[in-house]
Amino acid sequence: MTDVAAVVVAAGRGTRAAGGSVPKQFRPIGGETMLRRTLLTLVQDAKLARVQPVIHPDDHGYFQSAAAGIPTLPPVHGGATRQISVRAGLEALSDTPPDVVLVHDAARPFASAALIARAVKAAAECGAAIPALPVTDTVKTVDAEGHVDKTLDRSILRLVQTPQAFDYAALLAAHRTAAAQGRDDFTDDAALAEWAGMKVAVFAGEPGNIKVTTADDFARIDAEAFARLGDVRTGSGIDVHAFAPGDHVTLGGIRIGHTHALTGHSDADVALHALTDAVLGALADGDIGAHFPPSDPQWKGASSDRFFLFALDRLKARGGRVAHLDLNIVCEAPKIGPHRDAMRDNIARLAGISVDRVAVKATTSERLGFTGRGEGIVAYATATVRLPL
Ligand code: MG
């Protein structure tokens, strides 16, 4: 039986191409962080026992949430180039060397288990193997002025993907030799293997195994994922907490300085409680009090993130995702406006959706009723979710 491990390269910065400030491998795509989808493919679909992520030192927080519940090896830190990052992953496996190692890009979340099986088989036979597709478009080279220089023979060209698969010992030796000679600029492992004199076999890649690169890629894949979820549901939630002595409230996970605090058994975040009930409502799956009884002392002072994430997990377990969240907060004070975008960002982050799918609105009640008298805060939330039909 061939012992197989995989190195997943997720150390890139990649913030510019995909838009936003989060590296693209940690951005949501089709309802899940891209890296999470990639790791699930290797661990769950292809059933690989050892998957070695390589991440940037700044990204541990992102990694923890992306990989939650997925049994990978502890991540190691990458370097300035892809090649340095791959080598870090290979070295981390060296105490218990596998027979075959796959090197896979985090930005290819849609590789199938069948492709991965082909990669393992080809590497076990040939020592080095890469998935590739024929080129169907005509390919031309252009000169510095942007004029066509010549037309290439596309019959001998291939588009190369990952996972690339290698005899582990041979690839590690090639990486060490390249590093010792000051070469750290190979853009894929096959190029390094060729340089080291290894014969690299080619096997059939998959058109669906795309490298997610541009903001357009994200938008298109998101739209396709939504289209598959035809059961559209709406849930509503409402929550009330009373003011008590204190110096801040927590709304949507954001700490807001105030003349009072909100009382309640957890952190009394009315906004996240209303959102939690809205998501549970869309699932017809009880309410926050049924899942987290206020009589249970373990929720005393708890951050309300966990209640909201629990509801979102119930949604994910049914193959669904959030399409939109709309939150209304009613109080005379504190002022919500200055904190609106921070709340939207935090709620979007927790829900794994883009911030343009989260609305936060606020109003007073014109000094009428208990909110008008400044006795507490009410939050109303609406969640639109989509489930498979
Ligand atoms: Mg509550």
Last residue of a domain, one of 196, 225, 254: 225
Number of domains present in the structure of the chain: 2
Give the pLDDT confidence score for residue 192 in this predicted structure. Answer: 97
Report the 10 Å Cβ neighbour count for 181: 9
Give the pLDDT confidence score for residue 300 in this predicted structure. Answer: 78
Burial degree of 105 (CB within 10 A; 0-12, 13-18, 19+): buried
Q: Which residues contact 174 (CB under 8 A, 6 or more apart)?
A: 192, 193, 195, 196, 198
pTM given for the model: 0.73
Which residues, by Cβ under 5 Å, contact ligand 1, an ion?
A: 239, 273
Q: Which residues contact 51 (CB under 8 A, 6 or more apart)?
A: 5, 6, 8, 39, 42, 43, 72, 73
Specify whether 212 is located in the same domain as 257. no
Last residue of a domain, one of 181, 199, 225: 225
- Report CA(274)–ligand 1 centroid distance (Å): 7
- Report CA(265)–ligand 1 centroid distance (Å): 8
Specify whether 131 is located in the same domain as 165. yes
Instruction: Write the DSSP string, 100-138.
Output: EEEEEETT-TT--HHHHHHHHHHHHHHSEEEEEEE--S-
CATH of the domain at 369: 3.30.1330.50
- How does the average pLDDT of the chain come out, rounded? 94
- Section 74-100 average pLDDT: 97
Give the pLDDT confidence score for residue 19 in this predicted structure. Answer: 55
Last residue of a domain, one of 208, 225, 242: 225
Beta-ladder partners of 262: 243
Task: Using DSSP, state whether 268 is helix, strand or coil.
Answer: coil
Specify whether 253 is located in the same domain as 204. no
Specify whether 212 is located in the same domain as 318. no
Question: Per residue in 340-379, pLDDT tens?
Answer: 999 999 999 899 888 999 999 999 999 999 999 999 999 9
Specify whether 197 is located in the same domain as 254. no
Specify whether 306 is located in the same domain as 217. no
- Section 261-287 average pLDDT: 96
- Report CA(386)–ligand 1 centroid distance (Å): 25
Specify whether 270 is located in the same domain as 177. no
- Section 278-282 average pLDDT: 98
CB 343 within 8 A of CB 275: no
- Section 316-338 average pLDDT: 95
Cis peptide before 334 (omega within 30 of 0): yes
- Report CA(330)–ligand 1 centroid distance (Å): 14
Q: Which residues contact 220 (CB under 8 A, 6 or more apart)?
A: none
Question: Per residue in 151-160, pLDDT tens?
Answer: 999 999 999 9
Specify whether 174 is located in the same domain as 235. no
Specify whether 179 is located in the same domain as 307. no
- Report CA(327)–ligand 1 centroid distance (Å): 14
Whether the per-residue pLDDT at 169 is higher than 80: the answer is yes
User: Where residue 36 falls among pLDDT bands split at 50, 70, 90?
Assistant: very high
Structural domain for 204, as ranges: 4-225
User: Where residue 15 falls among pLDDT bands split at 50, 70, 90?
Assistant: low
Please give the structure tokens belonging to residue 283: 């699932």
- Section 211-238 average pLDDT: 89
User: Where residue 68 falls among pLDDT bands split at 50, 70, 90?
Assistant: confident
DSSP state of 75: P
Specify whether 178 is located in the same domain as 324. no
